[in-house]
Amino acid sequence: MKQMRIAIIGCGMISHRHMTVIENLKKRGYDLKVVAAAEIVPERLKAFGEKYGIAEKDLYADFREMLKRDDIDEVEVCVHNNLHTSVATAVMAAGYPCYSEKPMAASYADAKILYDAQKKYGQKLAVQISSIYNPQTRIAKKMIAEGKLGKVYHARSVGHRRQGRPGYDMPFFSHDFITPDVGVHGPLFDLGIYHLAQMLYVLGMPELESVYGVTTSDYWTDPAIDKAVGRTAPVEDLSVAIARFKGGLSMDIYEDWAIHMDEIGTSFIAGSNGGLKFTDVDQTGGPMAVPEGGQIVGGGILQKPRLEWFGVNEEGQLFDNKLDCAIGDITGQQELLMHPEMAMYNDNQLQWYSYLWGDLTDETRVDSPYIAMKTAFLSEGCVLSGNLGRSVTADEIKALSKSIALREQETPFGTIKYDFDDYKAD
């Protein structure tokens, strides 16, 4: 196995999750080495280098200087939402494969620009969507493909936090989450990608016809907190929608960062002969993202995805089955003993490295860029509908979506100007 030489752009919280996965994979025999890192905040860059043993000469304030090196095999983009298209296209333009954090972008137009950049620059791309890399998703997708649910006619995508607006209620997160020009959108884009992408992927990527959505930013705030975190304008804290797909499939969508309610329910898929309930959908990266003896970077506990299968048999008798889908539990361990290659489908980063090593191909890997782009398409439809006060069609989403990714970024050392294609509807 050839050593994978990795460069990191952005040394904030999510980069530490990448590093945790890298360290855990190294313990399992994978040859990975982080050779360089870039970050515009000097003290953050210095601390990152010290924590992971990266020499000062390999730390860069300006990532463009880092991309001039000739000893990098791939670059991981760990910047904020509205910089994903800006930075990831720059990485591919410089001649490197790119693994970008979620969401793919803050608009469908920018997600499409990033998706098309793969072909333009002849480079490989992946987007972090941890919810689709585990047995929960694989089992559900296989059951639907095999017709075990009969005709699938409705799905629900759900994400809920009692009070968890990053950068506001959760001050250890970056304030960029609630900054309109950087974070741009709230939970629908931030966490919704885990739930929406999982539903779309499991359902076989159905083609959207129309969507009606509403977004609000009416949850409790306080002037003292506004001042402390620099909140200057609202970013939505709740998005709800109903989508219709070709063939009659419908999906209701619910995603919040904060609401005065304890339980909202879970994602599910309903068919004529059966239904699947998705519990504890992974949005933290799975077991590989947990440091040895520690807890997930950013807080929280390790999620253990599960499925419940409800149905009716040939005798008309109702049944329900509980399916253990956690990678680290007995079922996941047995699967790996029987099929060791499935390890490549249980973790975002391992799948990415395996793809670059040639162990997976375009046909055998999960096409996360396509899934992420289609998720951005549906998410944008919800936002556009809310802004217009009416439903929008798929054609209208394509026509109305605008590129909003940052073309200029102010840094302590000057202005970074980004040059990437304008979006054209097709």
User: 281-333, pLDDT tens digit by residue?
Assistant: 999 888 899 887 777 777 667 788 999 999 999 899 999 999 988 887 777 78
| Residue-wise pLDDT tens digits, 224-244 | 999 999 888 889 999 999 999
pLDDT per position as a tens digit, 92-143 = 999 999 999 999 999 999 999 999 999 999 999 999 999 999 999 999 999 9
Domains and CATH numbers, the chain: 4-129 (3.40.50.720), 131-338+366-371 (3.30.360.10)
| Residue 136 to residue 42: CA distance in whole angstroms | 41
Look up the pTM and report it: 0.97
Q: What is the structure's pLDDT at 47?
A: 98
Residue 79 CB contacts under 8 Å (≥ 6 apart), including other chains: 9, 10, 12, 87, 101
pLDDT, residue 173, reads 87
Tens of pLDDT, residues 159-200: 999 999 999 998 888 888 988 889 899 999 999 999 999 999
335 and 342 Cβ atoms separated by less than 8 Å? yes
Please tell me the distance from the alpha carbon of residue 58 to that of residue 13, in angstroms, as a whole number: 20
Task: Confirm if 425 and 402 have CB atoms less than 8 A apart.
Answer: no
Residue appearing with tokens 């941890």: 130
Residue 250's H or E segment, with its range, is: strand 250-256
| CB environment 343-360: b (16+ within 10 A), e (fewer) | bbbbbbbbbbbbbbeeeb
What distance lies between CA 169 and its chain's CA centroid? 21
pLDDT tens for each residue of 27-72: 999 999 999 999 999 999 999 999 999 999 999 999 999 999 999 9
CA gap 18, 348 in Å, rounded: 10
